[in-house]
């Protein structure tokens, strides 16, 4: 039963390699536990829960390390004379997506905690609005100075505001540093490059897939078109918390809805991991991720 459910979880997000890593680890543990002499179903469940709780603790610590390393990198590269920075983030990479601190949002939390955050701008992240629904909620809840923008406003923002960095998460990082992340990440990297803004990927080492030489080999999940032409939100009238779905596009229009895109390593300034910061060698357009992991 457990193996079947883990396989079901794998199929839910084919682009996210860390989900496969975690499911594989738990599946191996369950198999070993069940094969042990005298093992019973309650024993297998207890072993599973023990490992799952340990994974939760490790993930939280990894997130805090990513936040620390990423914040230090930004401050060293881009801090103003007052020691403060403004940043942009995309999708949701906070406590609602991780064990309770976050990857890219963990970097922002660390900047805010140490008094170095001037402001954060979060994209709404169409078509599913994870930025507007989830990231914005976390920022408001924690009283972090923040402003919501539509995805199409990012370039204008970088041209008119003093932005130190764009920080994003990662669903899968290839051996050369090419990174698959929520759709819209690629265009943010392009505008960051044009405007001379640091573009930082925040990723635990479990999101790195050394079996893939480049991002061309990363599978990209295709989502139902209905997510683009319909939107769900709280009703302005009626009972508090009551939601409804409305159609926002011409009926019958065709839809292309990839859930992720791949940002080339050449557009990425650094990859913040729990083990430290991965940077490119001078003059190189790609990262040597394998060498970094082998020495850290």
Distances from the Cα of 277 to the Cαs of 71, 230, 259, in angstroms?
10, 40, 27
The per-residue pLDDT for range 122-180, each reduced to its tens digit, is: 999 999 999 999 999 999 999 999 999 999 999 999 999 999 999 999 999 999 999 99
Supply the pLDDT for residue 259. Answer: 96
Supply the pLDDT for residue 149. Answer: 98
Q: Among 59, 171, 178, 209, which one carries the catalytic annotation?
A: 171
Mean pLDDT score of the chain: 93
This prediction has a pTM of 0.90
Percent of the chain at pLDDT exceeding 90: 74
Answer yes or no: 171 catalytic. yes
- Nearest by Cα to 74 from 34, 114, 21, 25: 114
User: Which residues are 199's β-sheet partners?
Assistant: 166
The per-residue pLDDT for range 209-232, each reduced to its tens digit, is: 999 999 999 999 999 999 999 999
Q: Are 197 and 272 in contact (CB under 8 A)?
A: no
């Amino acid at each position: 039963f457990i193996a079947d459910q883990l396989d079901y979880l794998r199929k839910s997000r084919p682009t996210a390699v860390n989900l496969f890593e975690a499911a594989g680890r738990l599946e191996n543990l369950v198999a070993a536990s069940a094969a042990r002499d005298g093992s019973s179903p309650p024993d297998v469940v207890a072993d599973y829960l023990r490992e799952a709780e340990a994974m939760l603790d490790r993930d939280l610590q990894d997130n805090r390390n990513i936040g620390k390393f990423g914040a230090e990198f930004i401050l060293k590269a881009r801090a103003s004379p007052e020691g403060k920075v403004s940043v942009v983030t995309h999708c949701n990479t906070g406590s609602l997506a991780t064990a309770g601190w976050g990857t890219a949002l963990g970097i922002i939390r660390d900047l805010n905690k140490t008094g170095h955050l001037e402001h954060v701008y979060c994209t709404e992240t169409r078509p599913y609005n994870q930025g507007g629904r989830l990231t914005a909620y976390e920022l408001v809840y924690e009283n972090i100075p923040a402003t919501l923008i539509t995805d199409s406003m990012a370039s204008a923002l970088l041209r008119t505001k003093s932005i130190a960095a764009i920080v994003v998460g990662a669903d899968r990082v290839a051996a050369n540093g090419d990174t698959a992340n929520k759709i819209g990440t690629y265009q943010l990297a392009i505008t960051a490059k044009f405007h001379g803004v640091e573009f930082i990927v925040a990723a635990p080492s479990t999101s790195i897939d050394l079996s893939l030489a480049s991002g061309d080999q990363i599978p990209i999940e295709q989502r139902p078109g209905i997510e683009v032409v319909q939107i769900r939100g709280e009703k302005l009238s009626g009972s508090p918390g009551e939601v409804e779905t409305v159609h926002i596009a011409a009926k019958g229009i065709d839809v292309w809805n990839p859930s992720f895109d791949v940002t080339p390593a050449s557009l990425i300034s650094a990859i913040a991991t729990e083990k430290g910061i991965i940077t490119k060698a001078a003059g190189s357009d790609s990262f040597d991720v394998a060498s970094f992991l082998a020495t850290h």
